[in-house]
Amino acid sequence: MALRMGQGTIAFALTELRVQLHEGLAIATSMIVQVVLLVFVVILAPSLLPYALLGAVVYSVFQLGQRIQNEAAFIRIDHKLNELYHASSLSAEGYFLGLSLGVLLAYLPPVVILLLLIELLAPLTAVSALVLTAVVALVWLFTCALGYIISTLFRDMRAIWPYASLLTNFFGVLPPVFYPIGLLPGYWHPIALAIPSSAAVVLVEAAQGGLVHLSNLEIAYAATSLTVEALALFGFAVYWARVTARER
Amino acid sequence: MAEEALVAEDVRKRYVSRGAPPTDALRGVSLRIDKGERVGLLGRNGAGKTTFLRIVSTLLIPSSGSVRVFGRDAIADPDAVRSMLAVVPQEGKPFFHLTPREQVYSYLRARGFTRETARFRSEEALGQMGLMEIADRLSITLSGGQRQRTMVATVIATEAPLMFLDEPTIGMDPFARREVWASLRRLTAKGCTILLTTHYLDEAENLAQRLSVIERGKVLVEGTGESLKRRAGGTIRVSITGGEKLGPELESFGLLIPDGSALHVVTSPERVQEILGLAVRAGLPASVGPVTLEEAFLRVVGRSIDEEG
């Protein structure tokens, strides 16, 4: 009966995937903001489409944190299923990772559709595709950590909902995710490059060449910020998952 | 000497929250359970049952005290004991978008069981809980009792060495409750150990080999159902319809429990004839039966409330 941690985590991820796949409408509507913004861009400023497409991919991944936040809170507050899993051989870290992976797998199809659109309308070079993969992975680490941590802070589902839209808009819409960083005054750049979502988009744009003009120092700053923030928050979330598996 | 599955000693829990006075949920609870035992934890709402259950199942850190599960320290090293535990949480619900079959199977897989064992155990547990007919319906379409049966099936399928069930049969019909009882008996026959809380006193009497009554965060009484009844002041109950009229005369015979139009007198077997004589002389119908655990519980806990004010 000894648990192989990987097996438990994958099994829980598949459980969560199965649960999420019943929410087909939620998966489909997760694209609404991206599609609406893309339509606006096509109508108002078609030249910005490559930026908006990359932004839509990063936004879609960033949005997973909101799903994780709501799902983890719902399982804990409404179903009490966290107790079923925490008092078992599935580790607290395995629970957090399984939940995050399950939500990721369920919400991958919209991201794949966006990638296909990019391939059709504004193809990436091999290097920028690699950079996109790396930054998307880092954004996922950041957002699932943020979502899970926030989910543990409340005892009432209704108290959590405002934070979901607040964070998604703060990280996904406000900074230069859907629009070029060049449209922001220069003094905002250090802040924009320190925000994981906009840093991720800017790095891909820089790798693609011609989409954004940044100094090497700014690129290094964005890459370092994104990497450090993602890894640090994810590390903290793993620790936090363990801490919150037992109430005080 | 029997192997000890759970040893909890002087477990205390104080909840401290800003702007409110601290609450002592547990004030030194000790409990020992041997391997293969079924023990019932009784108490009023808010007595501390769930807090205790959550502490011994590694879900809540106590303020002080010790908890050992099969000899291992569950407070200092919860990971060392979690694989030996399974918990039915109070008011827990299965995933709404899984079927009972998927719920049980996927939980076993997450616990590290092989596909074959998980499939076999989940079918067995679903059968025991009478869930086969609805095993492929989404839980969201099931009744509250059926969902609760799914939760119990999920946990009993693990056959974990030590199981904690917090009000496992709440919302179930009498048939389903008996299926749960039978399953829990089968599990302890296999060597599993069970600690459950319940507000159904008939359930506690039928199922638990030993009872522990908690009141205001302390163990009030521990023992068998019969010993609890003896502490109530008698093992026989005489029920007199319209017995209120005889109230003052009956006071010296034992505990009086008004119940609608009837008055129950909890007394000893040797005093039954005298009470029946009084009822007959007053022209009141009377019946005799054994004291129920519920009456004993009301007596024991009620006396404690009176004493503590």
The distance between the two most distant Cα atoms of chain B, rounded to a whole number of Å, is 72
Q: Considering only the beta carbons, identify the residue of A84, A91, A246 that sits closest to B107.
A: A84
A86 and B154: CB-CB below 8 Å? no
B97 and A22: CB-CB below 8 Å? yes
State the Cα–Cα distance between residues A58 and A223, nearest whole angstrom: 15
pLDDT in tens, B89-130: 999 999 999 999 999 999 999 999 999 999 999 999 999 999
Q: B303: pLDDT confidence band, cut at 50, 70 and 90?
A: low
pLDDT in tens, A143-161: 999 999 999 999 888 888 8
What pLDDT was estimated at residue B309? 58
Which helix (H) or strand (E) element contains residue B50?
helix B49-56
Q: How far is A17 from chain B (nearest CA, A)?
A: 11
Q: A2: pLDDT confidence band, cut at 50, 70 and 90?
A: very low
State the Cα–Cα distance between residues A62 and A100, nearest whole angstrom: 12
Q: A4: pLDDT confidence band, cut at 50, 70 and 90?
A: very low
- Residue A179 · residue A48 · CB < 8 Å: yes
Q: What are the phi and psi torsion angles at B210 (to 5°)?
A: -145, 145
B85 and A86: CB-CB below 8 Å? no
List all residues 6 or more positions away from A141 whose beta carbon is below 8 Å from its beta carbon: A230, A231, A233, A234
State the Cα–Cα distance between residues A6 and B250, nearest whole angstrom: 69
Residue closest to B55 by CA, chosen among B45, B43, B64, B46: B64
- Whether the per-residue pLDDT at A5 is higher than 80: the answer is no
Average pLDDT of chain B is: 92
Angle at A159 between CA A156 and CA A160, to 5 degrees: 95
B95 touches chain A (CB under 8 A): yes
List all residues 6 or more positions away from B43 whose beta carbon is below 8 Å from its beta carbon: B49, B197, B213, B214, B215, B301
Q: How far is B194 from chain A (nearest CA, A)?
A: 15
- Residue A27 · residue A17 · CB < 8 Å: no
What pLDDT was estimated at residue A1? 41
pLDDT in tens, B237-268: 899 998 888 877 888 888 888 888 888 888 88
Q: Which amino acid is at B129?
A: M
State the Cα–Cα distance between residues B35 and B276, nearest whole angstrom: 46
Task: Write down the pTM of the prediction.
Answer: 0.90
B85 touches chain A (CB under 8 A): yes
B95 and A80: CB-CB below 8 Å? no
B106 and A98: CB-CB below 8 Å? no
Q: How far is A2 from chain B (nearest CA, A)?
A: 7
Share of chain A above pLDDT 90, in %: 80
Q: Which amino acid is at A97?
A: L
- Length of chain B measured in residues: 309
Mean pLDDT of A120-145: 95
B230 touches chain A (CB under 8 A): no
Q: How far is B13 from chain A (nearest CA, A)?
A: 10
Q: Considering only the beta carbons, identify the residue of B83, B102, B154 that sits closest to A3.
A: B83
Strand, coil or helix: B289: strand
State the Cα–Cα distance between residues A180 and A41, nearest whole angstrom: 12
- Residue A105 · residue B99 · CB < 8 Å: no
pLDDT in tens, A44-64: 999 999 999 999 999 999 999
Burial (CB < 10 A; 0-12, 13-18, 19+), residue B40, is buried
pLDDT in tens, B143-182: 999 999 999 999 999 999 999 999 999 999 999 999 999 9
Q: From chain A, pick out residues whose CB is under 8 angstroms from the CB of B113.
A: 1
ipTM over 0.85: yes
A18 and B98: CB-CB below 8 Å? yes
In chain A, domain spans: 2-247
The pair of three-digit structure tokens given for residue B162, joined into one six-digit string: 């030590």
Whole-number CA gyration radius for chain B: 22
Q: Which residue of A has its CA nearest to B104?
A: A15
Q: How far is A169 from chain B (nearest CA, A)?
A: 29
Q: Considering only the beta carbons, identify the residue of B60, B91, B98 that sits closest to A246.
A: B60
Which helix (H) or strand (E) element contains residue B236?
strand B236-241
Q: How far is B113 from chain A (nearest CA, A)?
A: 6
Q: What are the phi and psi torsion angles at B238 (to 5°)?
A: -105, 125
Q: How far is CA B76 from CA A12, A245, B24, B28, B68, in A?
A: 26, 14, 22, 18, 10
What pLDDT was estimated at residue A161? 84
Residue closest to B42 by CA, chosen among B229, B188, B302, B221: B221
State the Cα–Cα distance between residues B286 and B263, nearest whole angstrom: 9
State the Cα–Cα distance between residues A57 and A31, nearest whole angstrom: 10
Q: Which residue of B has its CA nearest to A84?
A: B87
- Residue A234 · residue A68 · CB < 8 Å: no
B116 touches chain A (CB under 8 A): no
- Residue A171 · residue A62 · CB < 8 Å: yes
List all residues 6 or more positions away from A228 whose beta carbon is below 8 Å from its beta carbon: none
- Comparing A87-101, A186-200, B242-256, which segment has the lowest mean pLDDT? B242-256
b/e code B118-130 from CB counts within 10 Å (16+ = b): bbebbbbbbebbb
The distance between the two most distant Cα atoms of chain A, rounded to a whole number of Å, is 60
What pLDDT was estimated at residue B306? 66
A2 and B59: CB-CB below 8 Å? no
What pLDDT was estimated at residue A3? 43
If you search the block for the tokens 């990638």, which residue do you land on? A115
The contact set of A with B (CB < 8 A) is 1-4, 7-8, 11-12, 14-15, 18-19, 22-23, 75, 78-81, 83-91, 94, 98, 245-248
Average pLDDT of chain A is: 92
